Each structure stands twice: as C-alpha cells, then as structure tokens.
Amino acid sequence: MVSERAADVSPFLAMDVLERANDTDDVIHLEVGEPDFDPPERVVETAVESLRAGNTDYTAARGKPELRRAIAAHYDRTYGVDVDPGRVVVTPGSSPGLLLAMAALVDPGDEVVLTDPHYACYPNFVRVVGGTVRTVPLRPADGFRPRASAFADAMGPDTRALLCNSPANPTGAVMDGDTLSALVDLAAEADATPVVDEVYHGLSYDAEEHTVLEYTDDAVVLDGFSKRFAMTGWRLGWMVVPPGLVDAVNRLAQNLFICAPNFVQDAGVAALETPPERLDAIRETYRERRDLLVDAVADWGLDPGYTPQGAYYLLADVSDLPGDAFDVADLFLEEAGVAVTPGADFGDQAAAYLRFSYATDADAIREAISRLDDLLATVER
Ligand SMILES: Cc1ncc(COP(=O)(O)O)c(C=O)c1O
C-alpha cells in the first residue's frame, strides 16, 4: 500500500518527456537541464587521484573540513560575505539539501510559500514532509521576478519558510538585492526562514547576482556543483544554515544520507579552484545560446514578454497555437523531433508556456530552430 505522501508526489514531466524522446529517433533535447560541458579537467584528475589514494570510506556527515572551508572562502571571494565553515553542510547534491531544509523547518500542517512558476520538484519536497504549499503568482510583465509584497500577501500564521530560486528554473529570472533583503525582513517578522536555492549562481547574463547571505545569517542557502561546474552526476552540493539549525540539519544528514561521496568531495575543492576565466567563457557560451532562442521565439510569435537573465531556460508563450501546451510539446516532438517541457510542470502560471533548455550546443539549437521554423510555418493560428 503506497503512503498518502508518496501518492501525492507528482511525476517530473521533464523526465517523462526525456523518456519518450529517447524512444524517438533523431531528437534534439531541449527538455532537460543538464549542462553539455565537461567538468574542468583538474576536477576529474583530483577525483581519480583521490579514488586511487583510497578515499572511499565515509566522511563526517557535514562533509570534509577542507571542502567546507573552501565553500566558506567562495562566499568571501564571490560576494564579500563572511561565512563560518561551521554553518556549511555538504550534501550529495542540492536536492538532498532541499529535503534536509524542509525536514528541519517544516512540521505537518506548516506552510511553505513559493513562487509560481517554480522548480517542478519544490512542492513535492514540501508535501513529503507533510507541509502545505502556498504560491505567489509571478507575472511576465515583471520579468517573472517576485515582489516581496506578493510574498507578504501569501503568508499566514502557519508559514514556516519562504522558498525562492534565483537565477530561476524555469523562467531564468534573477532576483535583485532589494527584493532579497525585503524577503529577509518579511521572514524575520513572521518567524519564518528564507530558503534560497542558488544552484544556478554563476550563470547570470545581464543581472548582478546576490546571495541572501549578504542580508542575514538566518537563511538556508542551497547550492551545488551540478550546474556551474557541469557535475550533475557527481552528486555534490552544500547548504549554508543559520547557526541555530546546524545541529538539527547535521543530525538529519547523519541519519538520512550518512555523507556525500568522499573522493567527490575532494573534487569539489578542485572545482572551487577553477580559474574564473574558464567559468566566464562558459557563461558567455550560454549567453549566445540564450540570444539565439530569444530571437527565434520572438520570430515565431511566441514571445513570453520578458528576457530571461540567468540559468539556462526560457519560456515560450504558446497560448496562440492550437491545443494546450501539452499538445504543442507533442507536436514539436512528433513532427519536428524537438523535445521541450510543457510548462504545467512548473505551476499553473506556466501552463500556457513551454520551457526550452539551452544547456545543449549552439549547432543543435540552430537545427532545432530551423526545424521549428518549418513546422510553425504550417500551423494555423
Ligand atoms: C532549481 C533547481 N534546484 C535544484 C536542482 C537539483 O540539482 P542537484 O543536481 O544539485 O540536486 C535543480 C535541477 O535541475 C534545479 O533546477
């Protein structure tokens, strides 16, 4: 008998589309958020050296001290923020960090406020710990950036956490410092904790990035190596937690995960030493791909009304095409061999959109654009 909580967890549509797309010949994959770059060579060498040196046993649940120090130093270098390594907990990816955050903060019946659109998995993390989701609708006219006042409207006496993501999946919106700071104030007044997923930091094109840690120590930050270092399958991430939550998160991590893989943690130290020029070059490549798709989507008359500023996603408004976004995604896959994700995965406000991921090379994106040029020329509106 499946538990009610498990029954309540919705499938991750992008993964369903991937499964179907993999059964179809000659498909261009614009549905998954998986970087096509290799991790820096030094990262691979360090992992191999560490593995050969026999670093295959458990580590402390909160992670190896050298990695926690390297993560703390990253905050000083990147944002000028002093983070005590004692507040850093290393996790096997940012997803386990999200589970630890929810388990540490939310009791059954408590509420978590998050944006709509949002990362597809967020509501499921809340539900799995017995929490209730409240959403803040975002508008294309605001570039899908949340307003603090909208969070205030959605909060109530049972609100325990405000969950945000910047740069955001699926919109590519980047939150500014004033909004983050206002959310910190709102949370403090309501005795709630801001939980900010910064996993796409390092991938912003026209906007300055701020960590919520510039404004408070009383926030949970989720971050990891998957996106900016292209290390998705390595399963390595981290959390920075408020001083009062360190013990609870550590106890949960000990019980639920034991630790992140030992030799992968050494590779994480090497990743954080990647020369900034290399990361800048990758970011420029993403920017070029974004610009290609932004222009194409406008040419197709599917302009979402904003320009995504970060991550590697953009939404296309398909409300003028026949059928709903699921039908249009099917049409793109079946008639053009282009896989994209229906927006419904990311909340009601995204239901009329398709999400394009540009974590794939520019030639494939150009080919997808050319196929969709041909297909859309034949579709009556
Ligand atoms: C917003 C967001 N957070 C977290 C994750 C999960 O990343 P990780 O590989 O670190 O678990 C993803 C993956 O797509 C994501 O888009």
Question: Per 3-state DSSP, what percentage of the chain is helix, strand, and coil (rounded to 5)?
Answer: 45, 15, 40
Q: What digits encode the pLDDT tens for the residues 285-311? A: 999 999 999 999 999 999 989 999 999
User: Kind of pairing, strands 353-357 and 313-317?
Assistant: antiparallel
In Å, the largest CA–CA distance within the chain is 63
Q: Counting atoms of ligand 1 from 1, which one is nearest the CA of 237?
A: 10
Residue nearest to atom 16 of ligand 1 (CA): 169
Q: At residue 380, does pLDDT exceed 90? A: no
Name the residue of 199, 229, 313 whose CB sits within 8 Å of the most ligand 1 atoms, as the mutation to test its pocket: 199
Q: Counting atoms of ligand 1 from 1, which one is nearest the CA of 168?
A: 1
Question: Other CB atoms closer than 10 Å to residue 39's CB: what's the count?
Answer: 20
Question: Other CB atoms closer than 10 Å to residue 114's CB: what's the count?
Answer: 27
Arithmetic mean of pLDDT over the chain: 95
User: How far apart (Å, rounded) are the C-alpha atoms in residues 359 and 29?
Assistant: 9
Q: What digits encode the pLDDT tens for the residues 259-293? A: 999 999 999 999 999 999 999 999 999 999 999 99
**242 touches 218 (CB < 8 A):** yes
Q: Counting atoms of ligand 1 from 1, which one is nearest the CA of 224?
A: 10
Ligand 1 centroid distance, CA of 32 (Å): 11
Q: Identify residue 133 by its one-letter amino acid code.
A: V
Q: Counting atoms of ligand 1 from 1, which one is nearest the CA of 33?
A: 14
Domains and CATH numbers, the chain: 4-38+277-376 (3.90.1150.10), 55-272 (3.40.640.10)
Q: Which of 228, 182, 180 is nearest to 208 (CA)?
A: 180
Name the residue of 31, 91, 94, 195 whose CB sits within 8 Å of the most ligand 1 atoms, as the mutation to test its pocket: 94
Name the residue of 32, 90, 115, 121 whose CB sits within 8 Å of the most ligand 1 atoms, as the mutation to test its pocket: 121
Q: Helices 362-377 and 325-336 meet at what angle, rounded to 10?
A: 110
Q: What digits encode the pLDDT tens for the residues 351-366? A: 999 999 999 999 999 9
Residue nearest to atom 14 of ligand 1 (CA): 33
How open is the CA angle 89-203-79, to the nearest 5 degrees?
Answer: 55
